[in-house]
Structure 1
C-alpha cells in the first residue's frame, strides 16, 4: 500500500520549485495594484438608471453614461493619481488595510462578507455530516457496487452542473457540492482537480454560454437595449459544444490520473481525503441511519434548487438551507448512534467544519481587497478601475468588425479579474461597449456574447473569484497549483471562444 503523507506540499517535484501559497500570491497582486494607483490617474463616470423587462417584470439597473468620463484633476489642472497610502485610519482603505476592508466589503447578498459567512456556515454544516461518518461509509458502499462503471460520474456530473450554471447562474453553490464530491471522486481513484472540473468549472462553462442566466446574459442584454433572452438558439448550440469540450477534456485528464495518481498536481493535498479511506474496510457499516442522512441531503438539494429557480434564493437562504441539512443529519446521527454521535458531537462537528474552511473564507476577503485598493468598482466614484475601463473603450476604433468584437472579448476577459460579478461587470461595461459596437459595425448581440464568454471562462482561474477560491479551499488545493493546471484549459477555451466570436460577426448574429 502506498504510504500517503498527511497534508499538502507546495513543492513541484519535477523542478524542485516551491510554489508560493495562495495568500502570498494575493498579497503581491495587491502590492502591484497599489503601485498602479501611483501611475494611473483616477477617473469617474456619471451614472443613470436604466430599465428593461425580464421575466415579465421591469428591472432597474444603475449604469454609467458612456461619454461622461472625467479625470480627477490636481491643483495644476492635470489628471492626478491618488496613490494608496500605506495605512488609513477611520475605516479607510490603505495598503495594510486590505485584508480587513476586503473581509467586511459588500453585504449578505455577495462578496465578500456574504460569501465568507456562506463558506463558514456550509463548512460547519458538512462538519456535522462528516462527524456521523455517513459520507465516508456511503462512498465505500458505492465503490463496492460500482466497480468498472466509475467513469460515468464525470460526464453525468459535468452535464448537470453545466446546466445549473446555464439555467440559474449556479456559482457559489458549487462550493457546497464540492464538499460532497471531492472525497467521492478521490475515493474512486481520481483527484481533487477532477472534482473541481465537474463541479465549479462545469457551472462556469454553463454560465459563460447560457441563453437564460438571469445574473449574466439577461442583465447584459437588458442594459445593451436588446430583447432579454434573445439569440437563444445560437447560445444553446454554443452551450452544448463547450460542455462537450469540458467533458472530453476532463475525462481524458481523469483517465490519465487514475492510471498514475502521482501525476496529479493535487496528489499531496489529496492525502487529506485519501487517509480517510486508507485503513477502512471496504465492507464498512451501512444502515438505516446512513440512508436517512443521504435522503436528507438529497431532499435538501431539491429544496435548494426549487428555492433558486422558483423563489430566487441566494446566499442568505442557501446558507440557512445547508445549516438545516447539517442539523437534521446530526439529529439522525444521535438517534441511530452513528459514530457515537452526541449533542455535543453536533457542536464539535460544526466547529471543526467551519475551522477547516477558515482559510478559504479569509482568502475571499483578501482577494476582494484587490479591487478596493484600486478604488472600488463604483463608476460614480474616482478609481483607477474606471480609468482602465475608459481607456479600453477607445481600442476598438478604426479596426475591422471581427477584430473589434474579438478585442471586446479579450477586454471582458481581463476586466473580469477586477469585477468578477456577472451583473456588476455587465452594468459597468455594457453601457460603454454597446455604442462602441454600433460604431464598429458589430451587433449588440455580439457585444453581449463577448461579455458573457469573457466573464464566465476567466471565472475559472482569477484569484479574485470568491466562488473559485471557496471551491479550492474545500478541496484543499492551492491556487498556484490550480493555475498551473487550468492555464492549458483556459488556452483551449480562449481559442474556441475567439472562433465563436468571429463566426457570430460573420453571420450577423442578432
Structure 2
C-alpha cells in the first residue's frame, strides 16, 4: 500500500523563531554594522523634567576595519568565548535582563494562580455567575474590552493583562466562548488602547518629548481615535465570540480549550459555596485593585507586580488549607504552585528565544550593529518622497521595526530622534510622525512573535501562536488599513 502524503502543517512556534534567528544572523553578513552617537535630552512629563538617551540622527557612521573596510558578519555559528552566536542566541536571550524579568514574572503568577485553581473557587464562582446572568453574559465582552483598552491608553497596560487572562480564560470558555476571545478582551484591548493613547507615559508622551512636540498635545484627536478603534475592536470581538457561541468547534483553540472546559471543573462547581470561596475571590479582587493602584500611583512594573501576585497566592493557599477547599492541604498548595509555574515553561522559552533574535541584530544605539544600519537606510530613502507618502511609509516602517524592538519606550528612543528631523525635511508635521510611531508600535504587537507580552498571554490561555496568527491577521490588516487612512488624512489635514 502507498502511504498517502501527509498534509503540510505550519512549523512549531519555537522552530519559527529559530528560523527568524537564522535570517537575522544572515542579515549581519549582508548589511554592514553601523552606529550613532547618543545625546541626553530633557523633556517634561506631568510637570516633571525627565531625561533620556537618544541617537543623534546626523552622527551615523559605519564600523570599519583598520583597512577602512565595512564590517560584516558579526554573528558566527558559535562563540566559544561566551559571546553571541547563532547557537548561543537562545541562552543569551533567556538570560538577558528584560527577558529574565518577564520569564520570572510568568513563573510566579503561573504558580500563584495554580494555587487559586486548586481551591476550585474560580470554577464555583463561574458556575454561579453563568446561572445568574441568564444569557446576559455577552455584555462581558464589550465591558472588558473597554476597560482593558482604557488601561492601555491611560497607563500603558500590557504585561498586566497576563494575570487577568488567567482568571478570565476559564470564565469565557465555560460561557461558551473560547480562549481566543479571552486574548482579544485582555491583551488585544490593551494594545488598541496603547496604540491610540493620548497620555500613555511609556509611548506617546516619550515620543512627543523626543520629537520636541508639547506633551499630550493633540489629545482631542487621539481621544476620538481611541474611541473609534475601541469600538472597532469591540465589534470584531463580539461578532467572533457570537460565532463561536453558535459553533464552539469552529474555534482554532477548541482542542486546547479542553483544559478549561473539562477536568474537575464540574465537580468543583457542584461543591457547596463556602466562606472560604468568598475570601479567595475577595483576595483576588483586592490584589487586582492594589496592583492597578501601584501601577498608576507608583509606577510598579514586573518585579513589584509579581511580588503582589505571589503574596496573593500565599494568602489564597492559607485560606484553602484552613477551609479545606477541594480538600486542600499545605502540600497540595505547594504542588499546585509548582504545577502552575511549570505550565509557563513553554511560553517562557518562546520569550527567551524571541529576545535572542533581537540580540542577534544589535545590542544598543551607540554600539555598531545591523539594526542601526537598517534604521539609517530607511531614513535616507524616506527623505525623497512626497509628504503624504512619507507619512505613510513612516507608519509602515514603525510597524515593521516593532518586530525587532517591541518596547514602546525603546522604539521611541531609537526612531523618534531620526523620524522627527526627517518629518521636517519631508513636509510632515512632527505630530504626525509621533502618530505613525504610536500606531505602528502598538498594533503589530498583536501578531509579532517577538512580543513577550503577547507570547505570555497566549501561553496562559493555551493558544498556540500559529493558531493565533491564522485568526488575528484579518484584524491586524483591518487596523492597518484604518490606520493608513488616519495617518494620510492627518497629514493632509495638517495635524500638528
CA contact (8 A) 1:35 1:83 kept: no
Question: Counterpart in 2 of 1:147?
Answer: 134
Say which of 80, 86, 101 aligns to 1:95: 86
Does the residue aligned with 2:39 lie in a helix, a strand or coil?
strand
Question: Counterpart in 2 of 1:29?
Answer: 20
Does the residue aligned with 2:197 lie in a helix, a strand or coil?
coil
Question: Counterpart in 1 of 2:3?
Answer: none
Alignment of 1:27-426 (within 5 A): 27-106=18-97, 111-276=98-263, 279-280=266-267, 283-376=270-363, 378-426=364-412
In the TM superposition, residue 276 of structure 1 has moved relative to its aligned partner by 3.1
In the TM superposition, residue 273 of structure 1 has moved relative to its aligned partner by 1.3
CA contact (8 A) 1:257 1:264 kept: yes
Does the residue aligned with 1:435 lie in a helix, a strand or coil?
helix
Q: Deviations over 1:228-274 (max 9, x none)?
A: 11111000000000000000000001111111111111111111211
In the TM superposition, residue 278 of structure 1 has moved relative to its aligned partner by 6.8
Question: Counterpart in 1 of 2:457?
Answer: 471
CA contact (8 A) 2:123 2:269 kept: no
Alignment of 1:420-499 (within 5 A): 420-499=406-485
CA contact (8 A) 1:293 1:329 kept: yes
In the TM superposition, residue 338 of structure 1 has moved relative to its aligned partner by 0.4
The total of aligned residue pairs comes to 491
In 1, Cα distance between equivalents of 2:294 and 2:325: 30
In 1, Cα distance between equivalents of 2:17 and 2:82: 21
In 2, Cα distance between equivalents of 1:322 and 1:450: 36
In 1, Cα distance between equivalents of 2:438 and 2:359: 24
Does the residue aligned with 2:192 lie in a helix, a strand or coil?
helix
CA contact (8 A) 1:119 1:470 kept: yes
In 2, Cα distance between equivalents of 1:228 and 1:72: 36
In the TM superposition, residue 16 of structure 1 has moved relative to its aligned partner by 4.2
In the TM superposition, residue 416 of structure 1 has moved relative to its aligned partner by 0.2
CA contact (8 A) 2:268 2:326 kept: no
In the TM superposition, residue 171 of structure 1 has moved relative to its aligned partner by 0.4
Q: Deviations over 1:464-507 (max 9, x none)?
A: 10000000110111111111111110110000000110111122
Structure 2: 5+ residue stretches without partners: 1-5
In 1, Cα distance between equivalents of 2:323 and 2:188: 37
In 1, Cα distance between equivalents of 2:50 and 2:263: 49
Structure 1's consecutive aligned runs of 4 or more residues displaced over 4 angstroms after TM superposition are none
Does the residue aligned with 1:84 lie in a helix, a strand or coil?
coil
In 2, Cα distance between equivalents of 1:168 and 1:394: 34
CA contact (8 A) 2:120 2:269 kept: no
Q: Deviations over 1:367-411 (max 9, x none)?
A: 0001111122x1100111111000110222232211111100000
Q: When the two structures are superposed, what TM-score results if normalisation uses the length of structure 1?
A: 0.94
Does the residue aligned with 2:68 lie in a helix, a strand or coil?
coil
- Mean Cα deviation higher: 279-288 or 357-366: 279-288
Q: Deviations over 1:144-180 (max 9, x none)?
A: 2112111111000000100000000000011111101
Q: Deviations over 1:112-154 (max 9, x none)?
A: 1110110000001101111111111111111121121111110
Structure 1: 5+ residue stretches without partners: 1-14
In 2, Cα distance between equivalents of 1:51 and 1:16: 57
Does the residue aligned with 1:48 lie in a helix, a strand or coil?
strand
> Is the alpha carbon distance of 1:171 and 1:243 closer, same or farther for their aligned partners in structure 2, counting shifts above 3 Å?
same
- Mean Cα deviation higher: 160-169 or 366-375: 366-375
Q: When the two structures are superposed, what TM-score results if normalisation uses the length of structure 2?
A: 0.97
In 2, Cα distance between equivalents of 1:187 and 1:479: 22
> Is the alpha carbon distance of 1:402 and 1:289 closer, same or farther for their aligned partners in structure 2, counting shifts above 3 Å?
same
CA contact (8 A) 1:141 1:283 kept: no
Does the residue aligned with 1:262 lie in a helix, a strand or coil?
helix
Does the residue aligned with 2:182 lie in a helix, a strand or coil?
helix
CA-based RMSD: 1.3
CA contact (8 A) 2:22 2:86 kept: yes
In 1, Cα distance between equivalents of 2:227 and 2:41: 32
Does the residue aligned with 1:459 lie in a helix, a strand or coil?
helix
